[in-house]
Structure 1
Amino acid sequence: MMHYFILGKGGVGKSTVALLKALAFNAQGKTVRLVSLDQAHNLSDILGPDADKIPKDLIIDEPDIDRFIKEYVSQSEALLKKNYRYLTALNLEHHFNILKYAPGMEEYGLLLAYQRYLKRAREDVLLFDMPPTALALKFFSLPFVSIIWLKQLRELRRQILEKKQIISGVKFGKKEVETDSIKKNLEEQLEQYREITQQFQNGETCRIAVVANADSVSIAESARIIRHLEELSISVSEFFLNKSTEEGLKQLQLPVKEKIRLILIQPSTKTLVGMSALSEFMKTCSQSLV
């Protein structure tokens, strides 16, 4: 399964490009699931009254991101209660409610949504319409930052066990059975985030497109997106320049490198709202979209 992300500055037409890309994949005979990870959820607004005309092999989801955030908080609370049972005896468990206000909860909620869809989807293409730049980049950075943080926690846990002379393993012959549940959980989380980073860095199955309008502000922001992802060893494969022409292209300095495919989306003479308008416009540029 290919998982495909569409990023860009707010207001540059990411959701419209996402729908056009989904229709182009679908026209090739691929089954597609388009998921909005942007809480603004513009997909249904763009589809308008034509939502019932969506092809059967194209599924569009606008999940409640708050639900995934709450689920992540609940999982974290359960893990704390399991590993720190003494807090219950001290009546401190009610302080776990503060987790919902902790920084980064939104990114973790988005990551949980991504993992859930990746695990359950059976379509050929899983396409994500991402939130604006700041949150989208935090989403991609989160697994990498979490690995650094978890490694430090693992080392701290090792030192605590060592200094307090807590037995963390029981030996049976040549085998050692790990008995420290906190350390075990840290290892499990490390493995989980390593797997996600590998998914993001796999250019064969993970494709990333950046969308910009033909103006200096959105192009400059697109350049920052590409640089940030490069620092994480994540490659951008496509650059959509929306509402642009070949003539206008000459006046722009684009952050498009050799391995990034440039796709021009020329201005539409009609408002791109509704499945009929989108399908008609997609046919005029379908060869360049896929």
Structure 2
Amino acid sequence: MTCQVYFVGGKGGVGKSTTAAALAYRFSKEGKNTLLVSTDPAHNLADLFQQKEKKGQYIPVQNGLTLFELDPDQETVHYINQVKENMKGLVKATMIDEVHRQLDLVSSSPGAQEAAVFERMTTILIEERNKYDAIIFDTAPTGHTIRLLVLPELMGIWMDGLLERRRKVQENYSQLLYDGEVREDPIYEVLQRRKRKFAQVRELLKDSETTHFLFVLNPERLPILETKKAVEQLQSFGMNVKIIVVNKVIPEANLDSFWSKRKEVERAYLDEIKTIFSIKHLCYIPLLSNDIRSLSDIEAYAKYLELPEMLYS
């Protein structure tokens, strides 16, 4: 069986972590070895499963279900150390301390954590897929999610530019220093390896047979607008969101005057959702009377996830 990959996204507070947890719980109950990964710095999956938080560690939740919460700070340190390792032998000994100092400064710059988290996601997608039947990513709020998912495309283009510049530099050096004889370029080889890695992830993200995108929203104005933009942006990069989970839908029965008015407003938003996402599979989750606090609550939530068969292939 080919490992299936799922990305669950949405605006903060709409219930995407609960949806990701419920999906992972259902898969594990169906006998699928499942890895649930949180990329959101504000992790709460360990709390949902009543586990002690252990960022950066694999936590066995139950038979067939493992939880991994990324630690952005830890991943950034690891990422910078990898870069330092790649620089060994490529920089003069007298310069290495200054290079390391500059890299340490980079670790606190904007985008460093993002790149580090993406590096870990890439490793999981490429190196750990053979260990699991399903990998589910509970992503950070929408804007962060979009940046992470489009990074392979953007970095692939950027890498092409770097490789071309490096090739020209190497050719010039060969002409000037080695009478035109081609010499091995370790930097070029490092860049080539990273390009292949980005290309592999990019193809995986665009493979609709193995990678699935779910967006969770509430029937309210801002979540609808944000989800619409996110779906369109992913589509422009070749990633098709097929499933929209509409969470916290007010039940029809036994409504007092307050809830009747709220329901009237909600109906207009539900109609808007049907219109905007007419070609998507819509899954409706009712507003529940209690918070999700235990495995039994997650199991109850999972029963409402009426998702298409292709999600379980």
TM bracket, shorter-chain basis: 0.7 to 0.9
Match of 2:136, SS? Answer: strand
Aligned length: 282
Letter of the structure 1 residue corresponding to residue 98 of structure 2: L
RMSD value, Cα? 2.8
Contact 1:170 1:179 in 2 (8 A): no
Match of 1:107 among 106, 111, 114: 114
Counterpart CA distance in 1 for 2:236 and 2:143 is 16
What TM-score, normalized by structure 1, do the two folds share? Answer: 0.86
- 1:279/1:245 CA distance change after superposition, 3 Å: same
Question: Structure 1's 167 and 115: CA in aligned 2 closer, same or farther, altered over 3 A?
Answer: farther
CA distance in 1 between counterparts of 2:176 and 2:8 reads 49
The match for 1:44 is: 46
Equivalent residue in structure 2 for 1:145, among 154, 158, 165: 154
Task: Specify the code of the residue in structure 2 equivalent to 1:106.
Answer: Q
Distance of 1:245 and 1:169 partners within structure 2: 77
In structure 1, distance between residues paired with 2:18 and 2:82: 35
Judged with a 3 Å threshold, the aligned counterparts in structure 2 of structure 1 residues 276 and 188 are, in CA distance, closer, same or farther, namely same
**Do structure 1's residue 236 and structure 2's residue 244 form an aligned pair?**
no
How far, CA to CA, are the matches of 2:179 and 2:26 in structure 1?
A: 55
Shift of 1:160: 2.3
Q: Specify the SS of the correspondent of 1:127.
A: strand
Structure 2 length-normalised TM? 0.80
Change beyond 3 A, Cα 1:12–1:48? same
Match of 1:126 among 102, 118, 135: 135
- CA-CA distance at 1:12 after TM superposition: 0.9
- Quote the offset at 1:45 in angstroms: 2.2
Residues 1-290 of structure 1: matches in 2 within 5 Å? 1-48=3-50, 54-83=61-90, 85-86=91-92, 88-89=94-95, 92-93=98-99, 94-118=101-125, 119-121=127-129, 122-164=131-173, 165-166=175-176, 179-244=184-249, 250-252=267-269, 253-254=272-273, 255-258=276-279, 260-283=280-303, 285-288=304-307
- In percent, how many aligned pairs have the same letter? 25
SS at match of 1:273: coil
Distance change (3 Å), C-alpha of 1:245 and 1:104: same
Gaps of 5+ in 2: 54-58, 253-262
CA displacement at 1:269 relative to structure 2:
2.2
Seen in structure 2, the aligned counterparts of structure 1 residues 49 and 234 have a Cα distance that, compared at 3 Å, is closer
Give the whole-Å Cα distance in 1 for the aligned partners of 2:14 and 2:96: 52
Unaligned 5+ segments in structure 1 are 172-176
